[in-house]
């Protein structure tokens, strides 16, 4: 028996023992029935990283003890599902390398690893999840339950991939969701990278060691040697540059093709706070489109000279701006 939070005083439930042929048949038959009747496009296999733990779930077959037991249960489901639809997406909810052969998509825990320290917790999750980036496993960047903290979660998701589908709910019906939150979520949904194979570039971030935990500041996404996405948190000192970029505030840059940000024909520029950004852009843009939840329009609130593009937003503009789509000649 086991329970989700490993509290011996909490409610516990019986776990299936894969040592039994009846268990194997039950999982196979049930999965095939679901695939034929419901025809799902995605199957989520949840909490495989912790249930049952080795000290709470002990299969009769000693070869299946520890995390091998959960792997065997999941593998049976995956094989049965793929036998009906080879293209069904298997979404896992843990980042252990053991699950890589079984999962097409990994979704991070909605509150990270530190529960209500959402920003720090999600940063740590994001660093660990980047270990999957070389395996071709798509990563959902997750979300949180507090709109006031959602921007920080989305900022990490710019590098990881798609934003999570869990929307914050901690808000009253009368208050409504502020445009600044909807605009940020719109921007990342519109412009996130759709590729699955990449590698992180850490810049001034730290992946952790025996002296301290991991932390994210500025970091990037490299695909086939090209910098296709970049997150810039507040500069550590006045005049700090990364990739020959000057900025104030917090920004995200996302290439909309396979080229690097500097040479792309279409680049999304997303403000995550009021500020100014100036970066290399070889030719004067043909046009720049400003997008928000109300629609899009061509904007002239930018400057290009000597191969550098500068875009800025003040406090009021930030609230009502999802981002800018820069289009080259």
Distance CA 156, CA 188 (A): 10
pLDDT more than 70, % of the chain: 90
Between 135 and 94, the more confident residue is 135
Between 173 and 222, the more confident residue is 222
Say which DSSP state 100 is in.
T
pLDDT in tens, 135-185: 989 998 877 777 888 898 899 999 999 887 777 666 777 778 889 999 999
Residue 287 banded pLDDT, cuts 50, 70, 90: very high
Which residue is associated with the tokens 């593998």?
A: 75
Residue 80 banded pLDDT, cuts 50, 70, 90: very high
Give the pLDDT confidence score for residue 116 in this predicted structure: 67
Distance CA 43, CA 35 (A): 10
Mean pLDDT value across residues 12-19: 83
Give the pLDDT confidence score for residue 49 in this predicted structure: 58
Average pLDDT, the chain: 89
Bridge partner list, 139: 106
Distance CA 126, CA 130 (A): 6
DSSP string for residues in 258-287? SS-TTT-SEEEEEESSSEEEEEE-SS--SE
pLDDT in tens, 259-285: 999 999 999 999 999 999 999 998 999
Provide the token pair at 248.
Answer: 């104030």
Highest mean pLDDT out of 12-21, 52-61, 136-145, 316-325? 316-325
Give the pLDDT confidence score for residue 65 in this predicted structure: 82
Is residue 53's pLDDT more than 60? no
Residue 244 banded pLDDT, cuts 50, 70, 90: very high
Domain spans in the chain, listed from the N-terminal domain onward: 21-191, 199-209+216-327
Residues 6+ apart with CB under 8 A from 240: none
pTM (two decimals): 0.90
Q: Can the peptide bond before residue 52 be classed as cis, meaning omega within 30 degrees of 0? A: yes
Contact of 275 with 247, CB cutoff 8 Å: yes
Distance CA 154, CA 255 (A): 17
Mean pLDDT value across residues 223-243: 96
């Amino acid at each position: 028996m086991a329970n989700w939070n490993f509290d011996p005083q909490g409610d516990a439930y019986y776990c299936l023992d894969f040592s039994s042929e009846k268990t194997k048949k039950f999982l196979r038959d049930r999965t095939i029935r679901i695939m034929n009747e419901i025809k799902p496009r995605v199957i989520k296999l949840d909490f495989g990283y912790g249930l049952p733990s080795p000290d709470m779930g002990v299969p009769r077959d000693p070869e299946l003890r520890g995390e091998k037991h959960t792997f065997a249960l999941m593998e049976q489901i995956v094989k049965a599902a793929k036998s009906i639809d080879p293209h069904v997406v298997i979404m896992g909810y843990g980042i252990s390398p053991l699950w890589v052969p079984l999962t097409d998509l990994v979704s991070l825990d909605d509150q990270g690893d530190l529960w209500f320290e959402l920003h720090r917790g999600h940063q740590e999750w994001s660093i660990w999840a980047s270990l999957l980036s070389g395996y071709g496993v798509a990563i959902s960047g997750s979300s949180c339950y507090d709109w006031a903290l959602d921007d920080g979660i989305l900022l990490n998701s710019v590098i990881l991939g798609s934003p999570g589908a869990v929307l914050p709910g901690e808000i009253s019906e009368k208050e409504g969701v502020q445009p600044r939150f909807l605009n940020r979520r719109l921007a990342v949904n519109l412009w996130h990278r759709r590729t699955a194979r990449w590698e992180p570039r850490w810049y001034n971030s730290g992946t952790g060691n025996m002296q301290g935990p991991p932390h994210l500041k500025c970091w990037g996404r490299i695909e086939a040697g090209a910098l296709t996405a970049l997150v810039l948190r507040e500069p550590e000192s006045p005049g700090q540059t990364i990739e020959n970029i000057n900025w104030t505030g917090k920004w995200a840059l996302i290439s909309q093709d396979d080229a690097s940000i500097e040479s792309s024909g279409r680049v999304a520029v997303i403000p995550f706070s009021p500020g100014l950004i100036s970066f290399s852009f070889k030719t004067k843009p043909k046009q720049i489109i400003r997008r928000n939840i109300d629609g899009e329009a061509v904007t002239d609130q930018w400057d290009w000279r000597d191969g550098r593009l500068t875009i800025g937003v003040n406090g009021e503009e930030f609230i009502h701006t999802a981002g800018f789509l820069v289009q080259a000649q």
